[in-house]
Amino acid sequence: MCSIVVRKGHIMNKNSKWMVISGFMGFSFFLIANFTHLFAGSSVLAGCLQLCVNTFVFVVWRKAFVQSHGLKKFVALIGTVVPIVMALTTICRVLVPALIR
């Protein structure tokens, strides 16, 4: 029973829990890196952190993709593609311009 989290009568397995946590973290760092400029260099630091977080997101969602089936497998497939797109966006919008300056 340790590997299952019960919430309001519904069963949520470990993959779903980590998918939610990693997705929220990845999207949060994406927003911080690409749309905030509070301090000089903060977007570059957030961009680097976002690449690390997106690696974690990709690994979690890939594991869920391999272990799931049906609609959940399709959702996990989208979840493995989105971090790659977000990472490429951050590289193009934040890190490359910072290196060129």
Residue whose pair of structure tokens reads 């919008």 in the numeric block: 93
Rounded Cα distance, 67 and 71, in Å: 12
Q: What is the pTM for the complete model shown?
A: 0.73
**Is there a domain that residue 5 lies in?**
no
**Is there a domain that residue 81 lies in?**
yes
- The mean per-residue pLDDT over the stretch 76-96 comes to 89
**Is there a domain that residue 34 lies in?**
yes
**Is there a domain that residue 72 lies in?**
yes
Write down the pLDDT at residue 88.
Answer: 92
**Is there a domain that residue 58 lies in?**
yes
Give the 3-state secondary structure of residue 46: helix
Residue range(s) defining the domain that contains residue 37: 13-100
Q: What whole-number percentage of the chain has pLDDT above 90?
A: 6
- 11-42 pLDDT, tens per residue? 457 778 888 888 898 888 888 888 877 766 67
What is the DSSP code (8-state) at residue 68?
Answer: -
**Is there a domain that residue 54 lies in?**
yes
Domain count, the chain: 1
**Is there a domain that residue 75 lies in?**
yes
Write down the pLDDT at residue 68.
Answer: 84
